[in-house]
Copies of this chain bind each other. A is one copy, B any other.
Amino acid sequence: MQISKGVEWAAHAAVLLSALPTGRGLKAEALARYHSVPGPYMAKQMQALSKAGIVQTARGKHGGYRLARPAGEITLWDIMTAIEGSKSAFTCTEIRQNGPCGATPEQCRKKCAIAAAFHAAEVAFRESLQAISLVEIAAGVAADSPRKHLRNVGAWLEKEAVAIG
């Protein structure tokens, strides 16, 4: 069970965007440069976030991305499903219906006990990520960073931010 690297990148990019004032955004290229990751791959994650309604895009010379809604309303679960989709991790192929003692479809109206247990674990996973918004992450990052580092980030954002309607 693996979560793709794109989720890490998208989460970091979204947290950075949450530090921008209203009406300002960052180009995908700047987001890639800030995190020292390949531009096309970062652009791909930003497109997925855009498709999921988490960021908004402006095209053209000053094109860039900004959050589409308040940071407190964007959770890590939103980011993860934007990148990975929301398909269950566990797929039940109903093998209890197979073979010499296979259960009949009528006997299988209730979810298989194995599938139900994995479903419950996935709900626990989801609820944990749904409880953490970009605001909590940004606050955690700020609390762990020396003031000088935060000033550097602020100066970089000031330099790179583009106007975005």
Contact = CB atoms under 8 A, between A and B. Distances in A.
Interface of A: 1-3, 5, 7-9, 11-12, 15, 33-37, 76, 80, 84, 87, 89-93, 95-96, 98-103, 107, 110, 112-118, 120-129, 132, 136-137, 140-141, 144-146, 149, 152-153, 156
Give the secondary structure class of A's interface.
helix
A92 B114 CA distance: 30
A128 B116 CA distance: 11
Identical chains bound together, number: 2
A123 B124 CA distance: 9
A12 to B, nearest CB: 6
10 contacts: A1-B89, A8-B90, A8-B92, A9-B95, A12-B95, A15-B114, A37-B95, A37-B98, A112-B141, A121-B128
